[in-house]
Structure 1
Amino acid sequence: MTGSGPSSQRPPHPDDATAGAEVLPPPVSAAERANRLSAANMLRSLLPLVVICLLVVGWQAFRNNPDDPVREIEPTSSLRLAEARAVYPLLIPALDEGYRPTSVRTDAGTNPEGSPVTVQLGYVTPAGNYAGYVVTDDADAEALDVLDGAAEEGAVEIDGEEWTRSTTQRGETALTRVADGVTLVVTGSAGDDELREVAEAVEPFAG
């Protein structure tokens, strides 16, 4: 005969009922949900901008062909400033796309109003050579130093205008025309034919 002794089991505890239950995360507040939505909306809004930036960078990389080191510039703003300050009709070569502008300089923005104005332009020619152009009403302009020591070789007619052909100390051709106190110079490593094309293209600036 067996007797029943006192039980060895402890009485149930209230926590035992939830011991095996899944613990759920605390509910997300409305403010947190709004913040998450705002971050997601921001990312979606930035995505088109990122795509556009990548397209622009790709287009620039496509244009800047590593096989072509020439970097063209846009001289229009400088020429407009020079035209506004000059007291003479500004004459600039109107060249086709084969002549690519690579440099422009003017003192129009630094000299007092009414002072002489000098403009210098540099081009890479279709043959890959350099052609420089100068127009100034300053007889002492530094840009005219290229004519120092040049040997005059006579007059040539270009597009109905008389120019003086010279050979500079560098051995390059220089074409010069002076009219109404304004000096025009076309010179550079380009051949005579291309320098003549630059001189022929000179006309009042229409910027």
Structure 2
Amino acid sequence: MTGIGPTSQHPQGPDDAAPGEVPPPAPTAVERANRMSAANMLRSLLPLVVICLLIVGWQAFRTETGDPVREVDPTTAVRVAQAEAGYTLLVPTGLDEGYRPTSARSDAGRGGAGAPVTLEIGYVTPSGRFAGFVVSDSPTAEPVAAVLGGATGEGQVDLGGEEWTRSTTVEGETALSRVADGVTVLVTGSAPDEELETVAGSVRPYAG
């Protein structure tokens, strides 16, 4: 009786492909070099991409958390108004740094010599609201008429040693005003009454 012994086995190599199968061609040296170059390029660019993303994110964070208030220096507008006004120019004086001027303009010089002069200064107050100051020797000046036209008087209040009229505008905001020698001084805005009163109480003749 003939026994069947173990047959010898060895790993199948490229030359041992099944009949009918064609083994894939081995990659050439150029192809291997190209693959390595692309991989190396990706690995080298990755840190740069990460750094760029971090810089962009940091700039966006600074923009979002930065102070959006842009302050202006009202000095030029005040000096132009003083030079042309035929009256003693009054302006808020000595306000603390929580009251930041964000706008200032005057119509001085537009109407020729002797024409009425109006000065406007806008502030962002400590509460982040708006307080507007206006002084004009024209009762029909647009910044004055737009606020006091249709306003309802609410009585008198003493601020900075002067008597002011408290009114409620048609927009529901408080307006503080006084008139002397044909000159109207006005403080109004969305700021709380206490902050509007602070601005009004600081009004003094401009000392230059």
* Deviation readout 1:172-201 (Å, 9 max, x if unpaired): 000010000000010000011000100110
Partners of 1:80 and 1:65 lie apart in 2 by 36
Segments of 4+ moved more than 4 angstroms: none
Q: Any idea what the Cα deviations from partners look like across 1:148-170, whole Å, max 9, x if unmatched?
A: 11110111111221100000011
Judged with a 3 Å threshold, the aligned counterparts in structure 2 of structure 1 residues 155 and 74 are, in CA distance, closer, same or farther, namely: same
Matches of 2:148 and 2:182, distance apart in 1: 17
Determine if the alignment matches structure 1 residue 100 to structure 2 residue 117: no
What is residue 123 of structure 2 aligned with on the other side? Answer: 123
The change in CA–CA distance for 1:67 and 1:148 in structure 2 (over 3 A counts) is same
In 2, distance between residues paired with 1:201 and 1:154? 20
- What is the correspondence of 1:184-195 to structure 2 with a 5 Å cutoff? 184-195=185-196
How far the C-alpha of 1:123 sits from its partner, in A, is: 0.1
- Return the TM-score normalized by structure 1: 0.67
- Indicate yes or no: 2:167 matched with 1:172: no
Residue of structure 1 in register with 2:71 after alignment: 72
Distance between the aligned counterparts of 1:66 and 1:138, measured in 2?
42
Structure 1 residue 105, shift from structure 2 partner: 1.4
Q: RMSD between aligned alpha carbons? A: 1.6
Residue number in structure 2 paired with 1:57: none
> Identity of aligned pairs, percent?
60
Matched, 1:183 2:184: yes
> What is the alpha-carbon distance in structure 2 between the residues aligned to residue 184 and residue 109 of structure 1?
20
Query: Match of 2:171, as an amino acid?
Result: R
Q: Which residue of 1 aligns with 2:31?
A: none
Match for residue 33 of structure 1? none
Gaps of 5+ in 2: 1-62
Mark the runs of 5 or more structure 1 residues left unpaired by the alignment. 1-63
| Distance (whole Å) between structure 2 residues aligned to residue 125 and residue 173 of structure 1 | 15
Distance change >3 Å, CA 201–CA 147, structure 1 → 2: same
